[in-house]
Structure 1
Amino acid sequence: MRVALFALGGTISVTGGTPRLTGEQIAAGVPGLDGLGVRIDVRDVAALPSSGLTFTRVLEVVDAASRAVADGAAGAVVTQGTDTLEETAFLAGLVWPHDEPLVFTGAMRNPTLAGADGPANVLAAVRVAVATPARGLGVLVVFNDQVHAARRVRKTHSTSTAAFVSPDSGPLGHVVEDRVRILAVPPRPGPLPHRPSPERLAATRVAVYTAVLDDDGTLVDDLARDRQGLVVAGFGVGHVAGALAPRLGAVAGRMPVVLASRTGAGPVLRATYRSPGSETDLLGRGLLDAGMLDPWKARVLLRLLLAGGAGRDEIASVFAEWG
């Protein structure tokens, strides 16, 4: 049995000096990994913080993992920095077509610190990658012996080893001793039908506008200029100041504008509140509903759709399925 491991740098590889740990060194530092009966095929992709990753780089890793699975790997594991992991895993999940798991993991504490969590996370990730119960679940994030759907997971703490949680659904399962126990199997939307080229991705930009107290909205036009799409991180269930609503409606007449909640959990509503700047008002002005996707994941999905040539109706349909 074989697992492909792709190393992209991040805290899990940081030793305080240079160069960073290679994928081979990361794997060699995992107690018990050689006792799983799994051959680890390590591939070093990059040695950089996750803030330096791009859509194109992530999609290249997904393609390499797809080829590994087609060549007989039971699954694939990606190690990377945690800062953007919730976004990269979601991006991968939008295009991953296989039943074999693609598992993202990393570390909150680097290998030089007491209680470094990288080795335990890699061991758990490999267990999940080869586990029969994990097949068909798509792209997963494994941290702190918990298994999360990439679609729902969020990083909710800057330093805790329990930083990754799924606020809306909870984890799909847990790794207990040598067992992967999947307790919930959510619906899995199919991969997006259109895969954009790197050139189309580079030419497609989507901004995020965050609603704040006492906001006059003057930055909306500047933020939307030279962009192909906009995500609004609204208050609560999808609200903004009433004075901002006409500006957002005008932008929605020029490009897709997706309404999400900045709260970190829960959905955007559709027809509960009706005051100016409410969700009913904004959706009536042409904004699209992100559902339960947070603003950062909504941005990932909107950019991929726009770069793939999707029109407004298709964008609304896909958000209804993935949100």
Structure 2
Amino acid sequence: MKRFFFSILVFLFIAVSDAKPTVEILATGGTIAGVAASQTSTTYVAGSLSAQQLINSVNGLESIANIKYTQVYNKDSGNITTSDWMKLYAEVNKAAQDQSIDAIVITHGTDTLEETAYFLNLVAKTEKPIVLVGSMRASTSMSADGPLNLYNAVAVAISPQTHNRGVLVVMNEKIFGARNVTKTHTTNVDTFQSPNSGPLGDVVMGDVSYYSTPNRASTTDTPFKISNDTALPNVAIIYEYVGVDTKILASILKDKTLKGIVIAGVGDGNIPSYEHDFLVKARKAGIVVVRSSRTGSGIVSYDYNNLDTTYGLIAGDNLRPEKARILLMLSLLQTNDIKQIQQNFYKY
């Protein structure tokens, strides 16, 4: 009789487990896995906790989903390279092709989280939800924000409402689209914002609510295809300011591997007239140049001050410089045609 009841309990346990969605957590380090010397210390070592330790710190996580995990790498996100992106891309691909996995959550440092999110938004070829999450306080901090952020990220990933919204970022009870989200404050837990569009929704203690859907093509609807060993083209970012030394700009063009430049212009992507020679030489060398803005929000108008038609430049729409660089790198894998690349900036 005892054996019979035990068998029933095992059956029920398996049935309940099978009823829950399965989420693959890809851990990459960051503050969410950081450890400090004290609860109030502002200095810490990012990427100290393992994926298993991070998951164990979140009470109730396995009550809403079956959790699998992979430690992709464990580092400060300021140290992430494009080679690391390829490694993460390979793991996302593996999880996307695994029929037992319903959604993907990526734990990530906040310094470059928005860049990784947008990169995956353009190259991940899956309709499974992909959610990036981090924290602004180390795991050992007083009122650490990581555990609830991770719980909410899993809740967003498994929500039926999340499908067909592209790659998402969940931070501080807000849901953001990968294209428009950015880090706006050095330490505040409410640092992530989308200045041009606002959040897509909220998630409060796992309760998910959406208010809008991203209107740019993403994931399976983009033409950008890469492999695990793709080498992304060399694209630099130049930040404009009063009195730019044109000799420094000229030295940049000596790098023969340089394929593109994103200029973080002043105002509406404006570029000083004394950079005329630099722009002419860059374009003659076949370097594709995109105008973005250092302002942090707003659309860069096409052909402002006749810059685009005069020099053959590309207006970066409302993408911040670091994201304009990602779109330009991926575009350059396909074409050098500035008209086609300009259209990419309007579509993606």
Whether these two folds match at TM > 0.5 is: yes
Q: Which residue of 2 aligns with 1:220?
A: 249
SS state of the match for residue 36, structure 2? coil
Q: CA deviation at 1:237?
A: 0.7
Q: Give the Cα–Cα distance (whole angstroms) in 2 for the partners of residues 121 and 192 of structure 1.
A: 32
Q: Which residue of 2 aligns with 1:44?
A: 71
SS state of the match for residue 252, structure 1? helix
Q: Which residue of 2 aligns with 1:265?
A: 297
Q: CA deviation at 1:119?
A: 0.4
Q: Which residue of 2 aligns with 1:191?
A: 222
Contact 1:105 1:125 in 2 (8 A): yes
Q: Which residue of 1 aligns with 2:200?
A: 172
- Residue identity opposite 2:302 in structure 1: R
- Residue identity opposite 1:56 in structure 2: S
- Residue identity opposite 2:59 in structure 1: P
Alignment of 1:245 with 2:282, yes or no, is: no
Gaps of 5+ in 2: 1-20, 38-44
Q: TM-score, normalised by structure 1?
A: 0.91
- 1:113-134 per-residue CA deviation (whole Å, 9 max, x = no partner) reads 1111100110111011111111
Q: Which residue of 1 aligns with 2:94?
A: 67
Q: Which residue of 2 aligns with 1:15?
A: 35
Contact 2:308 2:315 in 1 (8 A): no
Q: CA deviation at 1:197?
A: 6.2
Contact 1:194 1:305 in 2 (8 A): no
Q: Which residue of 1 aligns with 2:321?
A: 295
Contact 1:10 1:48 in 2 (8 A): yes
- Show structure 1 runs of 4+ deviating over 6 A: none
Alignment of 1:118 with 2:146, yes or no, is: yes
2:236 to 203, 207, 217: 207
2:307 to 281, 298, 303: 281
Q: Give the Cα–Cα distance (whole angstroms) in 1 for the partners of residues 294 and 114 of structure 2.
A: 15
Gaps of 5+ in 1: none
Q: Give the Cα–Cα distance (whole angstroms) in 1 for the partners of residues 131 and 335 of structure 2.
A: 28
Q: Which residue of 2 aligns with 1:134?
A: 162
Q: CA deviation at 1:216?
A: 4.4
Q: Give the Cα–Cα distance (whole angstroms) in 2 for the partners of residues 88 and 283 of structure 1.
A: 32
Contact 2:86 2:230 in 1 (8 A): no
Q: Which residue of 2 aligns with 1:4?
A: 24
Q: TM-score, normalised by structure 2?
A: 0.84
1:235 to 237, 262, 266: 266
Q: CA deviation at 1:218?
A: 2.6
- 1:196-238 per-residue CA deviation (whole Å, 9 max, x = no partner) reads 663532xx21111111012243322212332111110000111
Q: Which residue of 1 aligns with 2:341?
A: 315
Aligned length in residues: 312
Provide the identity percentage.
Answer: 34
1:102-113 map, 5 Å:
102-113=130-141
Q: Give the Cα–Cα distance (whole angstroms) in 2 for the partners of residues 161 and 309 of structure 1.
A: 39
Contact 2:216 2:347 in 1 (8 A): no
Contact 1:216 1:244 in 2 (8 A): no
Q: Give the Cα–Cα distance (whole angstroms) in 1 for the partners of residues 213 and 230 of structure 2.
A: 36
1:145 to 173, 191, 210: 173
Alignment of 1:94 with 2:122, yes or no, is: yes
SS state of the match for residue 46, structure 1? strand
SS state of the match for residue 212, structure 1? coil
- Residue identity opposite 1:85 in structure 2: L
Provide the alpha-carbon RMSD of the alignment: 1.9
- Residue identity opposite 1:66 in structure 2: N
Q: Give the Cα–Cα distance (whole angstroms) in 2 for the partners of residues 305 and 259 of structure 1.
A: 15
1:256 to 269, 288, 306: 288
Contact 2:27 2:70 in 1 (8 A): yes
Contact 2:29 2:107 in 1 (8 A): yes
The 1:127/1:283 distance shift into structure 2, 3 A limit, reads farther
Q: Which residue of 1 aligns with 2:6?
A: none
Q: Give the Cα–Cα distance (whole angstroms) in 1 for the partners of residues 216 and 158 of structure 2.
A: 19
